Amino acid sequence: MAKKASGSTGGGTPATDALSAAGVPFTVHTYTHDPRSTSYGLEAAQALGKPPAQVFKTLLVDVATSGRPELAVGIVPVDTQLDLKALAGALGVKKAVMADPALAARSSGYVVGGISPIGQKTLLPTVLDESAILHETVLVSGGRRGMDVELAPDALLALTRGSYAPIAR
């Protein structure tokens, strides 16, 4: 079931609120999340009938060189893995490691499996895999499990102040 967003999405998430406030065209897609699912992104693609290459997952990484975490965001198709070395290079840092899930949830304000790149508590450095430009629209988490938002990849980068780079493998 998909619903077209127009103006306020009443009872929305920080992601849909940010999209509405910015006047960005988007479509909300919802599905019933299976709590036994271990691959949230592939579950979304299958449930929504979308190609996995068009559905993107949001991953938080730690790029700190000191003991204090410094987070960034990598967004890749759900049927790929994040290339941590490529992401580090795109961000101009030496190393990136996956962020602790509890820290990712706390920093973003979303639950793991529902982390959206849009509307996070703090705007983090963001990189979107360059394969997104092959699609007129991409889907990313809308801010909770069982909800994705579909929007143009350039609009996603404008909202996150992100950039494109080849970060999937």
Handedness of CA 18, 119, 165, 43 (dihedral sign): negative
Lowest mean pLDDT among 18-27, 37-46, 130-139: 37-46
Q: What is the pLDDT of residue 5?
A: 42
Supply the mean pLDDT for the chain. 92
Report the alpha-carbon distance of residue 54 to residue 138 in Å, rounded.
5
What is the 3-state composition of the chain as percent helix, strand, coil, each rounded to the nearest 5? 30, 25, 45
- CATH code given to domain 2-165: 3.90.960.10
Burial 78-113 (b: 16+ CB within 10 A, else e): bbbebbbebbbbbbebeebeebeeeebbebbbbeeb
pLDDT at 145 over 50: yes
Q: What is the pLDDT of residue 38?
A: 81
Q: Indicate the domain borders of the chain.
A: 2-165
What tens digit of pLDDT does each residue of 95-104 get? 999 999 999 9
